[in-house]
Amino acid sequence: MDIWQPCLRYPDPAIETLDPSFARYRVFSASVERLATGFRWAEGPVWFGGGRFLLWSDIPNDRMMRWDETDGSVSVFRQGNYANGNTRDRQGRLITCEHGGRRVVRTEHDGTITILADRFEGKRLNSPNDVVVKSDGSIWFTDPPFGLLSHYEGTIAPQELNANVYRIDGHSGAITIVTDDVLGPNGLAFSPDEHRLYMVESRGVPNRKIRVFDVEDDIRLTNGRLFVDAGPGGTPDGIRCDTDGNVWAGWGMGSPDLDGVMIFNPSGAPIGRIALPERCANICFGGRMRNRLFMAASHSLYALYVNAQGAAGG
C-alpha cells in the first residue's frame, strides 16, 4: 500500500536541520515532491538543462527513464545493458556506467554510442558503478563487482579485475588506475575546486564510509583518509557536492529512520538531513539554477528545491 503523502504545510518536517549552518540551505516554502514511482531500483539521475529533462536508471528493469520538467511526463529513454550511474561531460554528452555491458559509454549528440572503457590490460571490467567528469575532460569511475553477483542487476560472471577506481584521459583515452584500496568503491564526487575526490566505500569494515583523497597533478589520488564513518546501518551511496563544498549523500537501508539524504560540511560534520520513505541510492542537482535536488530512491524519484547549487561535473 502506498503510504507516502506530500507535506501540505510549511516548513516540511522531512527537512531536518542538524546544525544551525544548514539553515541557509533550506527554502522555507519548499517541500519534498514525488515526481514518479513504480520502478524497481532507481539510480544515477542526471540533469539536461537545455532540454529541461532528467534521466535516471531503473537497473533491474534494464532501462533508463526520462522525466520532462515542462509537463511532468515520464517515459522510457532507452533499454538494455543495465545502466547504473550517469553524468554529463563538459560538452553536454551523456556518460553512462553499464553493468550488462561491463563498460562506460558516451552517448553522442546524434544518439550513437561510443565505448570509452570496457577492458583494462586485456581483462574485462567488472560492473562500472558511478562516474564523474573533471574540467579537463577526464572521466573517473568506480568498478565494483556488484553487477556480477546476480541476474537481477546484471549477469552472473567471473570477476577478472579487482574493484578499482579508474581515470580515462580526456584527450588520449588512456585508462589508468587511480586507487585500488577502496573496499567496494561506489559513489564519487569532486570538490568544487577539484582538489579533492570524495568516494563511498560501500564494503567498509565495520561500517560503510565516505573517504576523501587529494587529487595530485590532476591525474592521481593521494592521502586517502576517512571523511565520514556512516556508523551501524548507515549506507551512503551516490554523492554530490554543492558549490560551498558540502557533500550531499544518498542514504538508508539499515533502518527506516535513516532513509533519505544526509548533508555534511567540508569538515565531515553532519549539518542536515532530508527524510524519505525509501532508501535514496543517488542524487543530482538540476533545474534552471541547479538548485533543485533530484533523489533516485528505490521505487521512486523525488525532488526538493534548496538554497544550494550543485558543483559542476556531477
Separation of alpha carbons 98 and 82, rounded Å:
6
Average pLDDT, the chain: 96
16 annotated ligand binder: no
pLDDT at 2 (0 to 100):
57
pLDDT at 257 (0 to 100):
86
pLDDT at 1 (0 to 100):
39
pLDDT at 238 (0 to 100):
98
pLDDT at 39 (0 to 100):
98
**Alpha-carbon dihedral sign for residues 273, 260, 199, 167:** negative
129 annotated ligand binder: yes
Q: Which of helix, strand or coil describes residue 21?
A: helix
Separation of alpha carbons 190 and 134, rounded Å:
8
Q: Which residues of the chain have pLDDT under 70?
A: 1-2, 254, 314
Nearest to 187 by CA among 212, 169, 170, 162: 212
194 annotated ligand binder: no
**What CATH number has the domain spanning 15-305?**
2.120.10.30
DSSP secondary structure letters along 38-97: EEEEEEEEEEETTTTEEEEEETTTTEEEEEETTT--EEEEEESS-EEEEEE-TTS-EEEE
Which cell numbers hold the place of 268?
565531515
Report CA 215 to chain centroid distance, whole Å. Answer: 19
Secondary structure string (H, E, C) spanning 109-170: CCCCEEEEECEECCEECCCCCCEEECCCCCEEEECCCHHHCCCCCCCCCCCCCCCCEEEECC
Q: Which residues are catalytic?
A: 237
Structure pTM? 0.97
pLDDT at 3 (0 to 100):
73
Phi, psi torsion values for 57, nearest 5 degrees? -100, 140
180 annotated ligand binder: no
